[in-house]
Structure 1
Amino acid sequence: MILAAGLGTRLRPLTDDRPKALVEVAGRTLLELTLARFRAAGICEVIINTHHFADMIAEYLRAHQNFGMHIEISYEEVLLDTGGGLKRAAPFFLDSDEPFLVHNVDVLSTIDFDRMLLFHREHKGLATLAVQDRPTSRYLLFDENNFLCGRRAGLTGESELVRPVAEPRALAFSGIHILSPRIFSVMEEEGTFSVIPMYLRLAGQMEPVLGFPADQYYWRDLGRPEYIAEASGEISEGVYLG
Structure 2
Amino acid sequence: MKAMLFAAGLGTRLKPLTDNKPKALVEIGGITLLERCINQLKENGIRDIVINIHHFGDQIKDFLKQHQNFGLSIAISDERDALLDTGGAILKAKPWLTGSEPILLINVDILTNLNFKALLDDHLRNKALATLVVRRRSTSRYLLFKEQILVGWENKKSGEIKVSRPGEIAEAEEFAFSGIHLIQPQLLDKITESGKFAIIDLYLRLARQHTIRAFVDSSSVWMDLGKISELSQAEELVRSLDAD
- Alignment TM-score > 0.5, same fold: yes
Taking structure 1 as the reference length, what is the TM-score of the superposition? 0.94
Corresponding residue for residue 65 of structure 1: 68
After superposition, residues 35-114 of structure 1 pair within 5 angstroms as 35-76=38-79, 77-94=81-98, 96-114=99-117
The answer to whether the 8 A contact 2:113-2:241 is kept is: no
Which aligned runs of 4 or more in structure 1 are off by greater than 6 angstroms? none
Q: Deviations over 1:36-84 (max 9, x none)?
A: 1101100011110001000000001111111111111111110000000
Q: RMSD in angstroms over aligned alpha carbons?
A: 1.3
What is the identity percentage for the equivalent residue pairs of Structure 1 and Structure 2?
A: 44
Secondary structure of the corresponding residue to residue 103 of structure 1: strand
Q: Any unmatched runs of 5+ in structure 1?
A: none
The CA deviation at 1:161 is: 2.3
Match of 1:222 in 2: 225
Secondary structure of 1:229 counterpart? helix
TM-score (norm: length of structure 2): 0.94
Aligned residue in 1 for 2:194: 190
| Unpaired stretches in structure 2, ≥5 consecutive residues | none
1:151 has 2:153 as partner: yes
1:29 aligned onto 2:35: no
Cα displacement string for residues 170-224 of structure 1 (whole angstroms, at most 9, x for unaligned residues):
00000001010111111010000000011001112x2111110111111001121
Q: Write out per-residue CA displacement over residues 141-171 of structure 1, whole angstroms, 9 at most, x where no aligned residue.
A: 0002x11000111425454321122421100
* 2: CA distance, partners of 1:167 / 1:13: 44
2:163 equivalent to 1:170: no
Residue 221 of structure 2 aligns to which amino acid in structure 1? Y
Aligned to 1:138: 141
SS in 1 for 2:171: coil
Which whole-Å deviations, capped at 9, do the CAs of 1:96-152 have from their partners, x for residues lacking one? 2111101100111111111111111111111111000001111000002x1100011
Quick one: distance in 1 between partners of 2:163 and 2:142? 12
Say whether the 8 Å CA contact 1:99–1:180 is kept in structure 2: yes
